[in-house]
């Protein structure tokens, strides 16, 4: 691969056009998801000038003041202090045409991604919470890349921000934003129940732990407390993880939706689990660990909520059940498990527990298990964000850095199909990807043939 020459790299802090002093406390939902950086890349055939970008961002930040703030820690509490500090805008010129870019290539993606602050430095009060990098290509095309931290917002919140940015550039009124971050109350008794569930999960669900596993559990708790006290060392630099993407088109999605209806999202997860259960990593395991990302927006938060409304949970399923259960039955089981996980009592226990036992500690414990994380963001509209120059012609969601278990994004393609993006930190799940490709296409083809038979009858 030929080297891409970069020139004219510039960085500037974009502050809100009007400063409004506000403070927002990070909720237990925010803290439970951690300060994990999240990247998105959108490619356009043309776009605004640097001056237009800067002016529009400055105006939109008045509507989204929390995005321009800085996070500071006070004991176990973390707050977004908004004093008009601003976000980071990076611009660069690349000696390459749009048609020669491959967003899925780690070398290209790393060059196009916005820089990220290390998770351990987010709470020092100096790091911008949103970073945007705009790359100008030699044929007039532009690459728009964002890096946010998950504790600040999720995909829906970012989508609202980008929609308002497009509206500002197009001279349209901005959409209203709900800034208040409601805290779901929790107590010590909730934390005790949460820790009891965690211990039960470790000792009973996975199986008897050896001394080295117990030692890892103890060290994880110690590291979690060190993180809370801001004592850990700097995080590793950002690198993209090799991915494989499997796509189905709009007609296949329509067929699946007609067949599976409201549980389509859980059906997609069930198909992924069935494929994963056949992989060499899961073949000799009795149980699989399914780590879904749950969205509690519209349940505990308003639809136009600015902050983060997603969290992770874990579902443990016997491998034999995944393989033998009919797809519809497994889908309904996942649906029921998700509903239980989003019960308020379950959430309170989980939030209290994560005050001391963070996501990274948990993932460190399960990385040797047959575990997979699935984030279904197919309802998001990031692939349709228009900044006044048309919809994007390419869209890519680089996987979170430093993942330790296989991670899958399910998202909407530009042609209204679906993409199953597999990221594997070990790069050894080719058999899983092949089986998933076979299963998802067989299921959508079966749906299509079924509908054809109905019409014929």
Taking only the tens place, the pLDDT of each residue in 356-376 is: 556 666 677 777 788 999 999
Q: pLDDT for 371-400, tens place per residue? A: 999 999 888 778 789 999 999 999 888 887
Give residue 446's pLDDT: 57
Q: Is residue 447's pLDDT more than 60?
A: no
Report residue 205's pLDDT band, with 50, 70 and 90 as the boundaries: very low
Cα–Cα nearest to 111, from 90, 128, 87: 90
Please give the share of the chain, as a percent, with pLDDT higher than 70: 80
Calpha distance 163→317 (Å, rounded): 39
Whole-angstrom Cα distance, residue 423 to residue 401? 10
Is the per-residue pLDDT at 146 higher than 90?
yes
**Between 165 and 261, residue with greater pLDDT:** 165
Confidence of residue 248 (pLDDT cuts 50, 70, 90): very high
Confidence of residue 163 (pLDDT cuts 50, 70, 90): very high
Q: What are the angstrom distances between the C-alpha of 168 and each of 79, 141, 163, 197, 405?
A: 28, 21, 9, 48, 40
* This prediction's pTM: 0.84
Round the average pLDDT of the chain to a whole number and report it: 82
Report domain extents, the chain: 6-169, 188-456
What are the pLDDT digits (tens) for 42-65? Answer: 999 999 999 999 999 999 999 999
Superfamily of domain 188-456: Chloramphenicol acetyltransferase-like domain (3.30.559.10)
- Summarize pLDDT for 206-239 with one digit per residue, the tens: 554 443 444 554 555 445 444 444 443 333 334 5
Rounded Cα distance, 103 and 442, in Å: 28
For residue 144, is pLDDT > 60?
yes
Backbone phi and psi for residue 249, each to the nearest 5 degrees, phi listed first: -90, 180
The pLDDT score that the predictor gives to residue 186 is 61
Q: Assign domain 6-169 to its CATH superfamily.
A: Chloramphenicol acetyltransferase-like domain (3.30.559.10)
Q: What is the mean pLDDT of residues 120-143?
A: 87
Mean pLDDT over 419-432 rounds to 88
Domain pair 6-169 / 188-456, same fold? yes
The separation between CA 133 and the C-alpha centre of its own chain, rounded to angstroms, equals: 19
């Amino acid at each position: 691969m030929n080297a891409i020459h970069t020139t004219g790299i510039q960085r500037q802090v974009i502050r809100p056009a009007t400063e409004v002093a506000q403070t927002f406390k990070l909720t237990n939902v925010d803290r439970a998801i951690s300060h994990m950086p999240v990247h998105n890349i959108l490619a356009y055939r043309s776009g605004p000038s640097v001056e237009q970008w800067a002016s529009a961002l400055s105006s939109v930040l008045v509507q989204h003041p929390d995005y321009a703030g800085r996070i500071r820690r006070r004991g176990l509490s973390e707050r977004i202090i908004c004093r008009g500090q601003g976000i980071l805008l990076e611009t660069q010129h690349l000696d390459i045409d749009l048609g020669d870019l491959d967003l899925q290539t780690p070398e290209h993606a790393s060059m196009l991604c916005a820089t990220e602050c290390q998770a351990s430095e987010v709470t020092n009060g100096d790091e911008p919470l949103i970073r945007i990098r705009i790359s100008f290509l030699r044929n007039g095309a532009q690459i728009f890349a964002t890096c946010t931290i998950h504790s600040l917002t999720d995909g829906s919140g970012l989508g609202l921000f980008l929609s308002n940015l497009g509206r500002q550039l197009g001279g349209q009124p901005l959409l209203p934003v709900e800034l208040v971050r409601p805290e779901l109350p929790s107590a010590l008794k909730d934390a005790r129940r949460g820790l009891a569930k965690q211990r039960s999960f470790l000792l009973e669900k996975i199986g008897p732990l050896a001394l080295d596993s117990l030692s890892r559990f103890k060290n994880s708790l110690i590291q979690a407390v060190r993180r809370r006290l801001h004592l850990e060392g700097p995080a590793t630099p950002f690198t993209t993880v090799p991915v494989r993407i499997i796509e189905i088109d709009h007609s296949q999605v329509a067929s699946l939706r007609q067949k599976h209806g409201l549980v389509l999202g859980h059906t997609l997860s069930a198909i992924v689990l069935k494929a994963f259960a056949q992989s060499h990593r899961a073949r000799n395991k009795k149980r699989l660990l399914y780590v879904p990302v749950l969205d509690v927006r519209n349940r505990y938060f308003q639809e136009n909520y600015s902050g983060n409304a997603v969290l992770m949970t874990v579902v443990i399923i016997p491998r034999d059940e995944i393989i033998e259960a009919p797809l519809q039955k497994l889908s309904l089981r996942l649906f029921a498990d998700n509903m239980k996980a989003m019960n308020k009592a379950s959430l309170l226990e989980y939030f209290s527990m994560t005050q001391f036992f963070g996501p990274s500690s948990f993932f460190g414990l399960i990385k040797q298990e047959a575990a997979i994380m699935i984030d279904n963001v197919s309802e998001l509209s990031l692939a349709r964000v228009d900044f006044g120059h048309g919809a994007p012609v390419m869209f890519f969601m680089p996987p979170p850095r430093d993942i330790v278990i296989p991670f899958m994004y399910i998202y909407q393609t530009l042609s209204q199909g679906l993409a199953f993006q597999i990221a594997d930190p070990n790069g050894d799940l080719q058999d899983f990807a092949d089986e998933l490709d076979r299963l998802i296409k067989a299921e959508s083809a079966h749906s299509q043939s079924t509908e054809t038979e109905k019409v014929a009858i």
